[in-house]
Amino acid sequence: MPRLDLDDDIFGQVVPLIYVLSDARGETANTVVMAAAAQFGDSSVDIERLSNVKDVDTVRTFFDERYDPDRPCAVFHTFANGTLRREIRRELDRRGIPSIDLLGPAVTVISTLTGEEPTHEIGAVYSDAPASE
C-alpha cells in the first residue's frame, strides 16, 4: 500500500490503534472501522473494542490502563445517550485523542426529518435479535 509522502513520518513503523467504544456490543462502530481500514490494507491499523460502556469512569479507567502516548490512535464510538456521548467526548478531548461520533449525527438528522425524538435505546438495532447474539 503506498504511503503518504510526509516530511516527518510521525507514524514510523508503529501500527496506529483504533479504539471502538459503545454502550452496547460495538458491532456497528466496529463494522464501520473495518470497512474504512480495508481501504488501507490488511495490517494498516489495530482495532480494540470496549463494549457496554455505561459511564465516563469506565472510559477513564480503560485509557488510564491502556493509552500509549507514543502510539497514534483514534476513537470511533456509538453511544445512544447524548449526555454520556458528550461526557466521553470531553474526556477524549482532554486526553488529546481524536474521536468520531458515528451515531449522534445520524440520529439528529433522522429526528429532524421525522419530527420525532429518539428512544435512546441501547443496542436498538439488535433488540429483535435472538438472545445468543
**Most confidently modeled of 5-9, 11-15, 79-83?**
79-83
Residue 92 belongs to a domain: yes
Residue 22 belongs to a domain: yes
Mean pLDDT of the chain: 86
In tens, the pLDDT along 47-70 reads 999 999 999 999 999 999 999 999
Q: What's the rounded mean pLDDT across residues 92-99?
A: 96
Number of domains the chain is built from: 1
Residue 122 belongs to a domain: yes
Q: Which of 104, 78, 83 lies closest to 22, judged by CA?
A: 78
CATH number of the domain residue 49 falls in: 3.40.50
State which amino acid sits at residue 65. E
Residue 78 belongs to a domain: yes
Residue 133 belongs to a domain: no
- List all residues 6 or more positions away from 5 whose beta carbon is below 8 Å from its beta carbon: none
Residue 64 belongs to a domain: yes
Domain enclosing residue 36, as ranges = 17-126
